[in-house]
């Protein structure tokens, strides 16, 4: 398999090999692909988690447990307030 890299990426691969962290360009590429696969899986997990949370919210609203805000600003203020409180814990 042949792969074309931009000059910047080629320089990065060569630097990683020169540093001694990797024995060859192939090792660098394999590690990069492994990390890409891991990042893809994390994105999938996050996406699935967000979907589950949205579905829980939909169920709560349907069950009359939702909160009605008088404006989008009030909603934003509440989200910010709860986020700051959560961060402080």
How many helices and strands, by DSSP H and E, does the chain display?
3, 0
Q: What is the pLDDT of residue 48?
A: 98
Q: What is the mean pLDDT of residues 66-75?
A: 93
> Please, what is the angle between helix 7-18 and helix 25-62, to 10°?
110
Mean pLDDT score across all residues of the chain:
96
Helix (H, G, I), strand (E, B) or coil at 66: coil
Please state the domain count of the chain: 1
Q: Identify whether 28 is part of a domain.
A: yes
Q: What residue numbers bound the domain in which 30 lies?
A: 7-63
Is 78 a member of any domain?
no
The predicted structure's pLDDT at residue 68 = 87
Residue 44 included in any domain: yes
Q: Does residue 69 have a pLDDT over 90?
A: yes
Domain assignment present for residue 70? The answer is: no
Read off the pLDDT of residues 1-43 as tens digits, 9 standing for 90 and up: 899 999 999 999 999 999 999 999 999 999 999 999 999 999 9
Q: Write down the pLDDT at residue 66.
A: 87
Task: Tell me the C-alpha distance between 78 and 29, whole Å.
Answer: 46
């Amino acid at each position: 398999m042949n792969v074309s890299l931009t000059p910047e990426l080629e320089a990065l691969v060569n630097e990683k090999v020169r540093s001694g962290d990797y024995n060859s360009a192939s090792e660098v590429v394999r590690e990069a692909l492994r990390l890409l696969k891991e990042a893809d899986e994390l994105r999938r997990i996050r996406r699935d988690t967000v979907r589950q949370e949205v579905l829980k919210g939909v169920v709560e609203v349907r069950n009359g447990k939702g909160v009605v805000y008088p404006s989008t600003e009030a909603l934003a203020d509440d989200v910010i307030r709860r986020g700051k409180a959560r961060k402080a814990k």
